[in-house]
Structures are given as C-alpha cells and as structure tokens.
Amino acid sequence: MSTVEIDIIYMMNLIGCGVFAISGAIMAYKQKMDGFGVLVLAAVTAIGGGTVRDLLLDAPVFWLTQPSYIYVVIFAAVLAIIWLNYSERIPAKALEIADAIGLALFVVMGTSKALSYGVSDVTAIILGMMTGCFGGMIRDVLANEVPMILQKELYAICCIVGASLYVLIIPFYEEVAIISAFSAVLLLRLAAIKWKWQLHVFKY
C-alpha cells in the first residue's frame, strides 16, 4: 500500500468516525437520552465495526493505539448536540443520510485494512461489510430499535457491492478503487432509501 493510499484511508477513517458519531448522536436525540447516552451511542457507532474487524484480524484495535479517533468522536458528538439543540427542524432523513456516508467510508477502509493483513478477497469483502455495518447494529440495539441492516432498505448488499469493487480494482488503480467503492456504496444506499429498494423473501 502506497503512502498516498495510507493517508487517504486514514483521513477516511477519521471522517467516517465523525459522521458515524453524529448518526449515533441523532439516534440518542430521537430516543431522548442524556449526555452520557449521546456519547455512548456516538462512540459505539463510530468504533464498533472497526473494533470487531481488528479483533478478527488479530490486529491492534485502531482507537487504542491512535487516540485521535476518540477525539474525533467526542468533537462530533458535541457538535451534534449543539446542532440538535439549536436547530428548529431536524431533517427527517438526517440519520439515514449520515449513516449512509459513514457506511461508504467504513466499507472502503475496512476492506483496505483486511487486504493489508493478507486475507483472501472474499474475507476482505466480508470484513469490509462488517466494518460498515456493525457499529450501526450496536447503536440500534442499544437504542432498542430493530437494526437498519435487518429491516430497512438495501444495506449489507450495498457494502458487498462496494467492497467487491474495491477488491477488483485495487490491483490496478488505488485512487480509482477508493473512489469507486465509496461512490457505489453511498449512491446505492441513497437510491435504496429514496426508492425503498428491499429484498423481500416473505409475503406480508
């Protein structure tokens, strides 16, 4: 992995943590939680998926060795608290849009880190999906909500598509792989939200 790609992935890590922390704070706001609840949901959303990934890879857990991620989570949570307190109207889709952006960022960085540890392409795709999905799952469970991945529009499928693109393109063009994977996850997820794309298996 080149120095340029490492820098890009690191910045995407930080931005992803911040965006996911904001989505956790929005969920805490919806559930009328106190300040500690906001920080907990912000933190588990931001670092939950990456923590599971690193444990499975037997790698140092990223936020334990780089406290900058914790600082970003705290800053994003405080920013969200200020915004939510002083905004007259919270956009109806704010949580889903923030979640979609964080999802796209985390899928890219999760897949990249998995590949850097020498796992197979299929394993990297799975770990990329887990990096994107698990933080949100923990957030929703703690908020007593059915996780988005289990009952909302296309979610895990978006992660798989993006991670697969990354794995296919990365041997040839690093920057193109990052942009393509991020764009695929984000656009597919936003389209699924807008047009209610789902994988129905039961007749209701």
Residue 7 has pLDDT above 80, yes or no: no
Q: What tens digit of pLDDT does each residue of 63-82 get?
A: 999 999 999 999 999 999 99
Mean pLDDT of the region 113-126: 96
pLDDT value of residue 115: 96
pLDDT value of residue 11: 87
Q: Which domain holds residue 138?
A: 3-195
Asked if residue 202 is part of any domain, the answer here is no
Asked if residue 201 is part of any domain, the answer here is no
Return the higher-pLDDT residue of 201 and 2. Answer: 201
Write out the two tokens for 70.
């914790």
* 154/151 Cα distance (integer angstroms): 9
Residue 25 has pLDDT above 80, yes or no: yes
Asked if residue 204 is part of any domain, the answer here is no
Asked if residue 75 is part of any domain, the answer here is yes
Q: Is 183 exposed, middle or buried (0-12, 13-18, 19+ CB in 10 A)?
A: middle
Give the count of domains, the chain.
1
Asked if residue 200 is part of any domain, the answer here is no
Instruction: Report in angstroms the alpha-carbon separations of 129 from 11, 41, 119, 198.
Output: 19, 20, 14, 18
Asked if residue 203 is part of any domain, the answer here is no
Mean pLDDT of the region 23-29: 93
pLDDT value of residue 204: 65
Residue 1 has pLDDT above 60, yes or no: no
